[in-house]
């Protein structure tokens, strides 16, 4: 979902959240740019539609991997990586998804110790995911 689709998704989230426990997870790569640019882009997309920005009580989560999600998959499987290299075409990347998801779940648990090899954009994502608890 591009940032242009986010306002509609936020409106739908807010309407549904008034009736039932609901979450909205927005995942968008930063590509070769800084992750903060994507955060500002998401905020601006709401503002441009006259919508209030997300507040801390809302279960709206922004997951913004630097470069691409494959960087997180490799990193969550214990490899030290930088956020510049493109892991999208690494051999066997699809086979690493399940174990990456399990590790991400473990890292989001209360009092989890995040290893020093975790990349900065993933460290930012963990408190975002903790908003869903």
Mean pLDDT over each residue of the chain, to the nearest integer: 93
Query: Considering the chain, what percentage of its residues have pLDDT values greater than 70?
Result: 97
Per DSSP, the residues of 27-55 read E---BTS-HHHHHHHHHHHHHHTTPPPP-
- Helix/strand/coil (H, E, C) string of 107-122? HCCCCCCCCCCCCHHH
Q: Is residue 4's pLDDT more than 90?
A: no
Mean pLDDT of 49-77: 95
Name the CA radius of gyration of the chain, rounded: 16
* Structure-derived torsion over alpha carbons of residues 24, 85, 40, 56, reported in degrees to the nearest 10: 40
How much is the pLDDT for 1? 52
Mean pLDDT of 84-105: 96
Q: Residue 32: pLDDT band by 50, 70, 90 thresholds?
A: confident
How much is the pLDDT for 133? 82
Domain spans, the chain: 1-64, 68-133
* 64 dihedral zone (left: phi>0; alpha: psi -120 to 50; beta): beta
């Amino acid at each position: 979902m591009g940032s242009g689709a986010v306002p509609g998704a936020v409106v739908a989230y807010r309407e549904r959240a008034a009736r039932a426990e609901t979450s909205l997870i927005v995942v968008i790569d930063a590509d070769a740019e800084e992750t903060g640019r994507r955060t500002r882009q998401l905020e601006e997309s709401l503002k441009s539609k006259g919508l209030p920005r997300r507040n801390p009580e809302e279960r709206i989560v922004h997951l913004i991997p630097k470069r691409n999600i494959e960087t997180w998959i490799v990193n969550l499987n214990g490899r030290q990586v930088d956020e510049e290299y493109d892991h999208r075409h690494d051999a066997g990347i699809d086979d690493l998804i399940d174990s990456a998801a399990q590790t991400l779940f473990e890292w989001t648990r209360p009092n989890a110790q995040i290893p020093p090899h975790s990349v900065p954009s993933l460290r930012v994502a963990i408190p975002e995911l903790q908003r869903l608890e």
